[in-house]
Structures are given as C-alpha cells and as structure tokens.
Structure 1
Amino acid sequence: MDNPPEQHTGHPRRWQILSVLLVSLLVVVLDNTVLNVALKTIQEELEATQNEIVWAINSYTLVFAALLFTWGVLGDRYGRKKILVIGLVLFGLASALSAFATDPMQLIIARGLMGIGGASVLPVTLAIITVVFPPHERGKAIGLWAASVGGAVALGPLLGGFLLEHFWWGSVFLINVPIVAIGVIGILLLVPESSNPNPGRLDPLGLLMSITGLLLLVYGIQHGGDSQDWLSLGVSGAIIGGLAILILFLWLEIRSDHPSLDISLFGIRSFSASLTTVSLTFAAMTGSLLFLAFYMQLVRGYSPLQAGAFTLPVAVGQLLAAPRSAKMVERFGARKVIGFGLVLAGSVFASFVFLQPDTPAWILLVTWFFLGFGLGNVIAPATTRMTLAVPPEKAGAGSAVQNTVRQVAAALGVAVLSSVVAIAYTNTIRDAPGITELPQA
C-alpha cells in the first residue's frame, strides 16, 4: 500500500490525527513510570515478594524494549494504522487483566502482555507523523510528540500517586482502558493507512535475532540494577550474550538483500549523533526520576501523591520547550539549541549532589522545571533530526531503531542509578535499628 498522496502538502486532518496519536502515546508511555510510587501498595495488597514485585515492573519494560523494532518493521510492511490498532487493543485488554490480578504471577503475565501491545505505539505513531505532515511542519509535530513522551514519563508518578490516594491499586492500570478505547476510535476514524510500497521479503531470522538479543541485553541490565551484582554469571552472561547476538544480527543485516534494518542509517551523521544524544539524555532522565522518587519518599517522607506532584515541573518544562524548539532551531541551528539544552539539564543533574533532607521545596520545584526545559530542548530537536534523516517509506523501521535504543538506554539509566542509590542508602542506614531491606523505588 502506498503512502497517502498528502505526504508533500500534508494530510488535511493532520493536526486532528496528531491529537489522536498523542492520546495513544501518552497512555502507553505513562505506564513506564506510573508504578514508581505504587510499588509498596501493590506489594502489600498482593502479598508479593520483593522478587515478584521487581518482575511485575521488569516484565513490561523487558518485552516493551525487545519488540519496539519488530513492531516498527511490521508497521512498514503490513500497515501502520493496522499495527497501531492491534497493539492498543492488546494493551487495553492486558491493562484490565493487570487491574484485577489476584496474585503476583497474574500481574507479571498481564504486564508482559501490556508490553507486547504497548511496544507498537512509539515507532508507529512517529512513522505516521512522518507520513501525514509535510517536511516544513514535521519539526513542530515531532516536537509535540517528543514533549508528550518526556511529559508522560514525568507525569507518571503524579498520576499514580493521585489514583492511589483516591482509589484501589488496580486503578493505575484500569485508567488505561477508557483512554485506549478513545484512541482506537479516533485512529479508526481519522488516521489514514500507510506502509512501505516496496517492502521486499520479510526477514524473520533478523527479527527473531533482534528480539532475542534485546531480551537478553535488557534483562541483564535490569537484573544487574536489581541485584547490584553486575559481575554475576546471570547478569554478565545475559549482557554479553545479548550484545553478541545483536552484533551478529547487524553483521547479517549488512549482507542481506532484504534486511529488516537499514544499516546505512548509522552512516548518516545527523542520525547517529542525534541517536547518541537522545539515548544518553533518556538514560539520565529516567535514572533521575527514580532518584527523585527515592529522595521524595524515603528521605523527605512524602506520600506517593506528594512525591508525584514534584515531578510536575519536569513535565511542564518539557511541554513548554519541546513544541517551541523547532522555531529555535530555525533561528539558531540544531547544534546550538541541543547544546544549550544539554548544558542546562546537565547542570541540574550535577546539582543533585547538593540536595539535603531540608532543601526548600521552592528550590526543588524551580530546579526541576529547568531540568524539564533543558530536556525539551534536547529530545525534540534531536528526534526531529533523526526522523528527517530517514526516507518516509522506512519511517517505521527508522523510528523503531531510535525508540529501541532509547528504551535500552532508559533501562540502563534506571539500573545504574538504582545500584548507586542502593549503595548510598545501605551505607547510610546500615547501623539503623529495624531496617533490614532496601525499599525498591
């Protein structure tokens, strides 16, 4: 199926289409962080062990990261609208199963199913934006997409805290169902179908290798962060095995006449440089949000809702900066805008070492607003540069690559920061009576 003819002048309903895509995007990305403040409650209600609650988190992110690339490739081949609807329906059904889980194993399985469905949304929505918007408007549209991703990551703890304050623990999952229903209806009514007109033969071996390699790599990263034992056979073996399979996958793709991944993308300087920038930024952002959840609840003693509220300035900063970044790039150039954002966000990250239990709340709010503002000036223009470097017919695979690397980087950021926090926490309270276990953030 050819891409719609409106790809040069823009689809006449492109802004309505973008609104529907952002609704679908928000509900899936929120789920990556909404559990940050709900873990203790869920663990108590389901009488879950520490290991079971960790798997309830990791089953989602593990499958999510492993399938991003595959969903993007399938969207290019079989139709992005079709794949998006299938993924959202599965995500919504699995959310309902998660909400009414009666034991930890049910929750772990349901969360894994959520990850399978949710993984379709990031690469496919970005690919559809590339198709329905003309080149001169893509920067603004992608800026809104990037702002939604970053904002949803930051808003997750706030939403989770609010729901736990007023409803039962299952509400953090059940809230997804009506939003998914609205998104699916909007997609069916507004979004045009699109795909690569010349997809070539399917590369099942390549897709299987990418899934296996990513599963092992992300599992190793997550397990290393949870256990704080990066040299154990289970952790190092999974990471090395995953990297080996992914390297073999890249080697085979170079020699394939019908590759799932166009290796030449990495030879495009703007694509590879922006990919590196976004990956490092996401690793720092997701890791810092874990640190902030730990700091607000365990150091300052705030409730889940109060702790979640303190992430709001991060989201506000991103929502203000990202949509406007396209105009800033036109005026100053992408390098200067991204460089400014990196310096600003990096300064805030560095300031975390000065946090004290009694640091005034207004300082935290202002500081974290600037963090969001800096991130908005990095993620949006860098994502735009990557997307514009990819031919529209390969938009799904191109966006899948950047989202996959971004998700792996996010997992690494959480794992490394959780290890650092665990060591610092243990050193601080090792002599305190009655404390025998580190609460998981």
Structure 2
Amino acid sequence: MARAGVREWIDLAVLAVPTMLLAMDATVLYLAVPHLSADLRPSDAELLWIVDSYGFLVAGFLVTMGTLGDRIGRRRLLVIGASAFAAASVLAAFAPSPLFLIIARGLLGVAGATLGPSTLALISTMFPSNQRALAISLWATCFSAGIALGPIVGGVLLEWFWWGSVFLLAVPFMAVLVLTAPFLLPEYRDPAAGKLDLASVFLSLAAVLPVIYGIKQHGGVVGGVSIAVGLIAGWLFVSRQRRLADPLLDLRMFGSRSFSVALMALVFTMTAIGGVYLFVTQYFQLVQRFTPLVAGLWLMPSAVVLVLSSLVTPRLAARFAPAHVVGVALVLAALGFAALAFAGGLLGVVAGFSLVYLGVGPLMALGTDLVIGAAPPEKAGSAAAMSETAMEFGIALGVGVLGVVGTAVATDGEPLLQASAASFTHGLNVVAAVAAAMTGALAVLVLGLLRQRSPGDS
C-alpha cells in the first residue's frame, strides 16, 4: 500500500491552522466574559448566547458545508470559509452591543462550519488507510489543543489588550491560509455528486436551531413548541433523505455501528466538557480572583495532558480494541468529572479537570477516525461533517443546558457573575456531578455496543 510522502505531511501542517483556530474560537471567550460583560453589559441570557451562538451555528451548518465541499471542491470551500472567517472575526472584535456580538459570533459559526469538514475530508483523501489513523490523530490533537488553548491565549491577550483582541488573532492566520492553500493543498470533489438540495439544507437548520432555542427557554409553552417544531423538522429531514437519490446526508452511514456509537460518544462527552469548561474557566477568575493571564496558566496542565493523550492514541489503537480504548477513556473522564464534583479548592479543580482531559484526548482522536473510516472516500466530507457536528453541537449543548443548570444552582435570581464564591463553586460541583454520571453511563454503553459489533461492521 502506498504511503504518504513529505508533501502530504506539509499539507497536514497547513490544515492544522484552521483546525486549531476553529476549535479555539469555541472557547477563547471564556476568560474574556468578565471584560466584555463590563463593557457591553449583556444579560445572563445574552451572555450565554454570546458564548454559545458560534457553536450552535457551526453545528447547524456542518452537514450542509461538508456535502457542499464534496460537490464544489474541498479546497475551494476551505478558502472561501477562511476568507469569511477573517471578515467575521473583525466584526466580532469591534462589536458595539451584545446583539451585534451575538450576530457576529453566528456569522463566525457559519464560516467556521466550512473549515472542519474541508480539512478532515482532505486528510482522509491525502493519506492511505495505514497512515490515516495517525494523520487524523494529529488533526484531533490540533482540535483538542485549540479547545484547550483558547482560554490560555485569551488570557495572554487580555493582559495587554481589550476583549476584542481574542477575535483578531485569527485574521493573519486565515490570510496566510487563503494565500497558500491554492499552491499547497490538493483539490478533491465527488465527480458523481448531484445538486445541493436546498430543501434539505432548510430542514437541517430547522431541525437544529429551534430545539436549541427551546432548550434555552428553560421550558414553558414557547420552549416546548420550539422543541416540537425542531423535532418535526428533523423527522421531515430524515424522510426526505431516504427518498433522494443524492441526499444531503447519506443515512446509510448510520448502518455502521462504529459510526453511530462513535458519534454518540462524541456528542455526550463534549456536552459534558462544554458545560464544565464554562464553569472551570470562570472559577479561576470569580472564585480565585486570578487575572486572565494567571487563569490561563492554571489551565496549562490540562491542555498539556489533552495534547499528549491525543498523540498516544494511535499506539493504543494499534495494540487494543477500539471498544477498550474508548471505554477506558470515558471511565477516566468520568473519574475526572467526579473529582470536580467534590473539589472545593484550586488544586482539586486543576487535578480533576486534567484527569477529564486525559480521557477526552483518546476519545476525540479515535472517535473521529472511527467515523471517517466508516464512510467511502467520496462521502468523506459528509462523514467529517457528522464528526464535527457531534463535537461542536456537544460543546454548545453543554453550555446551553449544563450552563443553565449550573447558573440556577449558583444564583438566586442574581446575575451569574455576581454569585458568591461558595455558590459558584457549588454550581461547578453540581454540573460536574451531572457530567460524571453522563460519561460513566456512556462508558458502559459504549463498551457493550462496540464489543458486540458485527464482523462486517467497520
């Protein structure tokens, strides 16, 4: 079997830039929340939307963008998306109001949705199967590093600049990508792909966004109706995909147990991460009273653990069954969340969160490879989009749902940022306890399902 050469590994390094920035933008605001709150004075609901709108719109548009890349060319879509991402970053940096920032973050999400599927799909076609696991593991490491480094980089920038600087960081890197991609990266498109079905695009968005809005309404008639509308749209979307000769999302991929179980693990694990990460980063500033820079430095141990655990995953996957690697990773994450549920001081929070990331690293790397490996090359963009959707939607859902739970526990009708140290810590403990129960149950479920997969299942 042919092996990738130096050119392919250089291309992988180029693709690492948008991957890291895409993930970084999901978390870079966490340490900037007190600063932008003091400047823009958003309500608690607006604050959650500012943090969350990016991830939700990334998740909402990923399936569309993954399929679009298969049709018009993955490199072309990457260049278009990188240009739009840079422009939206400038808008977000100079947002004069909470609503403007929410809209700018939404535009960043739409642009960001082009980056992940394009990079991951290009990697799947650049590397043969015997090297794909390592290449995807390095991609997952970059994605993990972006999530972990977002608050750290934000803390460094906030030490000397205003909160908008965390967005401007992406502009020069995206400009370099736009200029170099046509010369360095290969192009790939599905020659047999049909036209993009706009009705499916609309239904995919109508399935995701109303459900998210309904969750954020904390129940009630409006929230219930919104969720119902989203579920109906989701049913219509699935029904339409089954009838189309060239669907937006090929549902046959879900026939692979590895594909379905890996997606499930990614969604619920990243839900747990999204909610807990919001409270951990705020804990350093609101409870420990650290500056953004010092808070970022206290996140370094967990970031290092996340990167290292992602890097060793290919060796683990070569020696042990995927079910065992994913199952043990989830157990470690559950133990870390449990430690956070009982943490009352700084060292307990740092140690617990580092243990969480020790388990999350292998899950992200191997889970992504299982998803991509289950799809044919011409559907790599769609499969990559589903993997990205699982992670982005999970992070955003964690902020939206677990963020609401933690806020309710930590406050009594007062703004979250004004909660007492003891109340805020209690909110973190409760959110971590929910995350521990979720990932513990998921570990048992994944071990059972992956160990029972059929011999022909990829």
Instruction: Tell me the SS of whatever aligns to 2:389.
Output: helix
CA contact (8 A) 1:143 1:322 kept: yes
1:277 counterpart residue number: 265
* 1:330 aligned partner, one-letter code: A
Q: 118, 121, 124: which is aligned to 1:124?
A: 118
Distance 1:274 1:211, change over 3 A: same
Q: 317, 320, 323: which is aligned to 1:332?
A: 320
Distance 1:112 1:133, change over 3 A: same
Deviation for aligned residue 1:12: 5.0
CA contact (8 A) 1:287 1:418 kept: yes
Answering whether residue 323 of structure 2 is matched by residue 314 of structure 1, we say no
Separation (CA, whole Å) in 1 of partners of 2:30 and 2:121:
29
RMSD (Å) for aligned C-alpha atoms: 2.1
Instruction: Please give the TM-score of this superposition, normalised by the length of structure 2.
Output: 0.86
Answering whether residue 401 of structure 2 is matched by residue 416 of structure 1, we say yes
Instruction: Please give the TM-score of this superposition, normalised by the length of structure 1.
Output: 0.89
Answering whether residue 167 of structure 2 is matched by residue 166 of structure 1, we say no
Answering whether residue 344 of structure 2 is matched by residue 349 of structure 1, we say no
Deviation for aligned residue 1:49: 4.4
Q: 290, 300, 305: which is aligned to 2:278?
A: 290
Q: 179, 186, 193: which is aligned to 1:192?
A: 186
2:417 counterpart residue number: 439
**1:25-78 Cα distance to aligned partner (Å, 9 max, x none):** 111211111111112211222344444444433432332221111110100000
Name whichever of 302-311 and 241-250 sits farther off: 302-311
Separation (CA, whole Å) in 2 of partners of 1:105 and 1:377:
37
Answering whether residue 61 of structure 2 is matched by residue 61 of structure 1, we say no
Separation (CA, whole Å) in 2 of partners of 1:53 and 1:349:
25
CA contact (8 A) 1:341 1:377 kept: yes
Q: 371, 381, 406: which is aligned to 1:396?
A: 381
Separation (CA, whole Å) in 1 of partners of 2:401 and 2:107:
26
CA contact (8 A) 2:48 2:399 kept: no
Following superposition of structure 1 onto structure 2, how do residues 142-181 of structure 1 map, counting pairs within 5 Å? 142-181=136-175
Distance 1:256 1:11, change over 3 A: farther
2:367 counterpart residue number: 382
**1:72-119 Cα distance to aligned partner (Å, 9 max, x none):** 010000000000110110010111122123333432332222111111
Separation (CA, whole Å) in 2 of partners of 1:59 and 1:282:
16
CA contact (8 A) 2:28 2:151 kept: yes
* 1:44 aligned partner, one-letter code: A
CA contact (8 A) 2:30 2:282 kept: no
Distance 1:8 1:437, change over 3 A: same
Name whichever of 404-413 and 150-159 sits farther off: 404-413
Separation (CA, whole Å) in 1 of partners of 2:400 and 2:107:
22
Runs of 5+ unmatched residues, structure 1: 1-6
Instruction: Tell me the SS of whatever aligns to 1:13.
Output: helix
Separation (CA, whole Å) in 1 of partners of 2:24 and 2:294:
18
CA contact (8 A) 2:93 2:168 kept: yes
Separation (CA, whole Å) in 2 of partners of 1:366 and 1:45:
33
* 1:171 aligned partner, one-letter code: S
1:371 counterpart residue number: 356
Separation (CA, whole Å) in 1 of partners of 2:74 and 2:128:
18
Separation (CA, whole Å) in 2 of partners of 1:282 and 1:410:
5
Separation (CA, whole Å) in 2 of partners of 1:8 and 1:330:
19
Deviation for aligned residue 1:308: 2.7
Separation (CA, whole Å) in 2 of partners of 1:54 and 1:367:
24
Aligned positions, number: 419
Distance 1:324 1:58, change over 3 A: closer
Runs of 5+ unmatched residues, structure 2: 419-423, 425-458
Separation (CA, whole Å) in 2 of partners of 1:171 and 1:281:
30
